[in-house]
């Protein structure tokens, strides 16, 4: 099996809560950035959205790294 496929299998683990947390935080940060760029908001609200997007992105990456480190390199997900 190619190394790139093994790498994706290490991340694609829908039975693990870390997978769904990483996915949820990354989707939330994407939605916040979309709102930041498309809506006309007051400056404090824009800064709040920016801060929330950055925190969500950092949490999403943290859960992704945790998922990557807790799965074995064979990609079996056990």
Full 3-state SS string of 41-64 = CCHHHHHHHHHHHHHHHHHHHHHH
Cα 76 to chain centroid distance, Å, stands at 21
Q: Report d(CA 22, CA 61) in Å as an integer.
A: 7
| Domain span at 50 | 19-70
Asked if residue 35 belongs to a domain, the reply is yes
Establish if 52 belongs to a structural domain: yes
Full pLDDT tens readout for the chain, 78 residues: 677 777 777 888 889 999 999 999 999 999 999 999 999 999 999 999 999 999 999 999 999 999 888 877 655 554
Structural domain count of the chain: 1
Distance CA 14, CA 60 (A): 15
| Residue 54 falls inside a structural domain | yes
Answer whether residue 3 is part of any domain. no
Does residue 14 sit within a domain? no
């Amino acid at each position: 099996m190619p190394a790139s496929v093994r790498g994706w299998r290490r991340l694609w683990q829908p039975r693990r809560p870390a997978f769904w947390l990483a996915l949820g935080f990354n989707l939330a940060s994407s939605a916040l950035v979309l709102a930041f760029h498309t809506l006309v908001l007051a400056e404090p609200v824009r800064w709040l959205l920016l801060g929330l997007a950055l925190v969500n992105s950092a949490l999403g990456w943290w859960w992704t790294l945790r998922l990557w480190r807790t799965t074995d390199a064979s990609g079996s997900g056990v």
